[in-house]
Amino acid sequence: MINIGFERIMPTPNYPHGTSAATLSGRSWGSQSNIVNLFKAEIKIALRKSQLGRCCFCRRLLYHDYATHIEHFVDKDGYGDYTFEILNLAVSCGTCNIKKNGHFSTWSTRFSRLFTVPGHSPVVRCPVLKAQLVAGAAFPNNAIDFRWVNPHVHNYSDHIEIDKGWIFHGKTREGMRTIRGVKLNDVGAVELRALAERLGTRGGRLSMLIGAFAELDVHRARDVAKVVVSAIKRRREANAR
């Protein structure tokens, strides 16, 4: 099993100094106002800390600032009231954020097409919520309120297990839905390509082997061996030319 880092977001960050739910209420996420920019910058730092520097979905380490996204667990397009609700925010890697957004838009378009009555306003539904929320309702904070693994309320390892090679197993329906929705089992292939690139930049064969050893805590030995063999082969072919 891979070290997942954190089980759930703890402690819950407070509103950054100089901001509050009331002062942010009604503002748009994309507005360039100082208070929104301050909130985004500070909450990102606080969430990173509470998440021990890992993505809220795949649990890979987060890299530099631009590659780390602030994720709205309940989408802000459908539920604008929770745009600045801290219990609705987490940090994720760019890959997971983009995959989740893709899933959300396919899901909600399909749902809306099926349930909207012509001439009426479109029916909104968020895939992570058990029941839809009425306007002005407090943000739900119980595990049973969610269909997906919520990084603030669920214990990750009760729902998802990650094996070496970034293989995700769902232990509950919430876990399985999250894995499917964010396409978490695509992570393994991405990481293996990155590993091949990293090893390819190492000078000698010994250095490559040392690099390969360092990867064995997250990759399966047979996958690492395959990558090393093909890197050595490529190098041999390049030298023969």
Residue ranges binding Zn ion (CB under 5 A) = 55, 57-58, 93, 96
Q: What angle in degrees, to the nearest 10, is found between the helix axes of 187-200 and 205-214? A: 150
Least distance to Zn ion from the beta carbon of 99, Å? 8
Indicate the residue among 39 and 54 with the shorter CB distance to Zn ion.
54
Tokens 């000698």 locate to: 204
Distance CA(212)–CA(87), nearest Å, equals 39
Contact residues for 53 (Cβ-Cβ < 8 A; gap 6+): 5, 61, 62
Least distance to Zn ion from the beta carbon of 72, Å? 15
Indicate the residue among 24 and 183 with the shorter CB distance to Zn ion.
183
Dihedral angle at the C-alpha atoms of 115, 118, 124, 128, nearest 10 degrees?
20
Least distance to Zn ion from the beta carbon of 77, Å? 21
Indicate the residue among 51 and 88 with the shorter CB distance to Zn ion.
51
Contact residues for 230 (Cβ-Cβ < 8 A; gap 6+): 196
Contact residues for 126 (Cβ-Cβ < 8 A; gap 6+): 74, 75, 78, 79, 104, 108, 132
Least distance to Zn ion from the beta carbon of 193, Å? 16
Indicate the residue among 58 and 231 with the shorter CB distance to Zn ion.
58
Indicate the residue among 127 and 211 with the shorter CB distance to Zn ion.
127
Indicate the residue among 47 and 58 with the shorter CB distance to Zn ion.
58
User: Rounded to 5 degrees, what angle do the CA atoms 58, 127, 149 make?
Assistant: 35
Indicate the residue among 55 and 227 with the shorter CB distance to Zn ion.
55
Query: Cα 183 to chain center, whole Å?
Result: 10
Least distance to Zn ion from the beta carbon of 118, Å? 39
Least distance to Zn ion from the beta carbon of 5, Å? 12
Pair of tokens at residue 129 = 């919520």
Least distance to Zn ion from the beta carbon of 92, Å? 5
DSSP string, 161-190: EEETTTEEEESSHHHHHHHHHTTGGGHHHH
